[in-house]
A and B are shown apart, each in its own frame.
Chain A
Amino acid sequence: MGGGVGLRFWVNVFAVCLLSVCVLCFVRGVFAVTFQEASDQVAGADQALRVAFNGVLDAEQSGANVSVLLPRLNEAGVALSGAEVALEAGNYSDAVSGALVCKSLASGVGDDAVVLKNGAVAAWGYWWVTVLLSVAASVVFAGAVFLVWRWFRRGYMKKMLGSRPEVTG
């Protein structure tokens, strides 16, 4: 009886060990990253960051204020630099993690840059309102100055005609 319990105990231990080894192998198989995969991810992150920056430049040239986007690009740049360092050091899983963070940040910045650019382009579509207001304000101002001039000239003439000649000397 006691020998049977002991055997069952060791069989269970063996089964747990075997299961652990299998799980570890499976996890390693799933999460192991090769140099090529890590390198591809880092290259993709580099490209994503360039695309995001190009989007920011386009938005800026359209007249949008992109100051809120640049700090996020800097964060993505730090992640990419970290990923490149990890890749050089042979730490491929960290390289992939950094590259994914960079891609995620760059993607968000790219989307926001498009929104800002569209807003700036839409605002530019109302340029004629500004021109119209300028013309209207100019006309109103010039008219007001003209009316004041007429009122002033009338008073001036009245004053000049009403004054009596003065003999001097």
Chain B
Amino acid sequence: MWSLNDHRTVFMAVGLIGVLVCCVPSVMLFARLPGGEKFSELYVLGPGRMAEGYPYNVRENESYLVYVGVGNHMDSSSYYVVYVKFRNETEPLPNATSGTPSILAPLFEYRLFLPDGQSTEVPLSFSFSGISFFDNQSTVRGLVLNGVQSNVDKHVLWDAADSGYYYQLFFELWIYDKAADMFVFHNRFVSRWLNVTTPV
């Protein structure tokens, strides 16, 4: 059987817990819980919004679809710009080590505002025009991104190791820096290799 002291301890514990519970709303007014690591996501999905079925062998005047996804874990709402760029094997990608973007000019852009903890996916349809082959070299004159025509004029040599003419479509993530009042490269980029082939 419990002694009187045991019962007193139980009553004191219940009283203390109750007082703490009553204080929670006030504490939450002033307390700031430490946030986790701040980061953003950038990813590409196939036409079915899954990580499969990506366009790979592409031809002139055929339309292809991918989805570009951005996720915000920056602990506040964020303003992003995703730049779509196109390169051949000799042109530079962004440098993840130094955190510098590619020097290539963007062909298309998305402006996205995201609340913390949410992500969004935007469609990108693309097609090629002016594809030609000569000796062991291919040329792409035009690229249409979401209906917007761009003159790219890129050349690549035949890749004997992987048997194809490879170009790369890539996406850079930039974020608005309120303090500097400018967009800065967020050191996130993703890419897809595209093998340009002749029409069937």
Q: Which residues of A contact B (CB under 8 A)?
A: 49-50, 53-54, 56-57, 60-61, 66-67, 70, 73-74, 77-78, 80-81, 84-85, 89, 127, 130-131, 133-135, 137-138, 141-142, 145-146, 148-149, 152-153, 156-157
Contact = CB atoms under 8 A, between A and B. Distances in A.
Nearest to B4: A156
Contacts of A130: 25-26, 29
Describe A's contact surface by its main secondary structure. helix
13 contacts: A50-B79, A53-B113, A66-B77, A67-B115, A77-B112, A85-B148, A130-B25, A134-B22, A138-B18, A141-B19, A141-B22, A152-B11, A156-B4
B62 interface: no
Interface residues of B, number: 30
A61 B112 contact: no
A92 to B, nearest CB: 16
A130 B25 CA distance: 7
A28 to B, nearest CB: 26
B18 A141 contact: yes
Contact of B25 (A53, A77, A134): A134
B83 to A, nearest CB: 11
A23 B25 CA distance: 70
Contacts, number: 85
B8 to A, nearest CB: 7
A134 B79 contact: no
Closest 7 pairs (CB-CB, A-B): A77-B111, A145-B15, A137-B22, A134-B26, A73-B113, A141-B18, A138-B22
Given A85-B148, A138-B23, A70 B115 contact: yes
Contact of B77 (A57, A135, A156): A57
A141 B111 contact: no
Contacts of B19: 138, 141-142
Interface in B1-54: 4, 7-8, 11, 14-15, 18-19, 22-26, 29
B29 A53 contact: no
Interface of B: 4, 7-8, 11, 14-15, 18-19, 22-26, 29, 76-77, 79, 108-115, 148-149, 176, 178, 181
Nearest to A79: B111
A66 B77 CA distance: 9
A94 B26 CA distance: 53
Contacts of B176: 50, 53
A74 B178 CA distance: 17
Contacts of A153: 4, 7-8
A128 to B, nearest CB: 10
Contacts of A148: 11
Nearest to A61: B76
